[in-house]
Amino acid sequence: MQIHNIIQTKNLNEARKQADKLRKENKPIVILSQDDEFNRKALEIKGLSTLLINESLNQKDYMKQRNSGLNEVLANICAEKGIKIGIQLDEIAKKSDVEKARALARLMQNIMLCKKAKTVMAILGQPDKRAVQSIFLTLGASSKQASNAVK
């Protein structure tokens, strides 16, 4: 999936204005995730096509769960409204080895949440389709989920 217009603001009202502008231009609306409260309200924006998981947020993980920017409630809302969960693998590849391991653990958790909620995942950029499918299958995605991620 190739996207050029990603809404990156932390202000919800500004995000809504930018989404209205993109909707008038008939362009896909992609919002970069922030904190849980922002993400929950951003999913209510009309015409939202993708919630892009922000890999550059430095959030601490919880004791029993990774703080991956996605939770079960958000995954269920995305499934109901047909909103995709976007992943930027090139952002993960740029990280150091320790950070890359944490990012892949968070991605594994997101894959499991999306699998349970039947939410569609999408890879942004121009990835090698076979490599992405292999990564997704290794991290616990179903074969259907892996093939849908590269479409």
Note the pLDDT tens digit of each residue in 33-75. Answer: 988 899 999 999 999 999 999 877 767 776 666 777 788 999 9
Closest CA to 81 of 33, 42, 107: 42
pLDDT at 77: 94
In this structure, is residue 115 part of a structural domain?
yes
SS3 18: helix
Q: Which residue range forms the structural domain that includes residue 33?
A: 6-149
CATH of the domain at 48: 3.20.20.140
In terms of C-beta density within 10 A (0-12 exposed, 13-18 middle, 19 or more buried), how is residue 115 classed? Answer: middle
* Stated pTM of the model: 0.87
Please tell me the total count of domains within the chain: 1
In this structure, is residue 51 part of a structural domain?
yes
Q: Contact 83/50 with Cβ under 8 angstroms?
A: yes
In this structure, is residue 1 part of a structural domain?
no
In this structure, is residue 91 part of a structural domain?
yes
In this structure, is residue 90 part of a structural domain?
yes
Residues of the chain scoring pLDDT < 70: 1-4, 58, 62-65
Return all residues near 12 (Cβ < 8 A) that are at least 6 apart: 38, 41, 42
In this structure, is residue 81 part of a structural domain?
yes
pLDDT at 125: 77
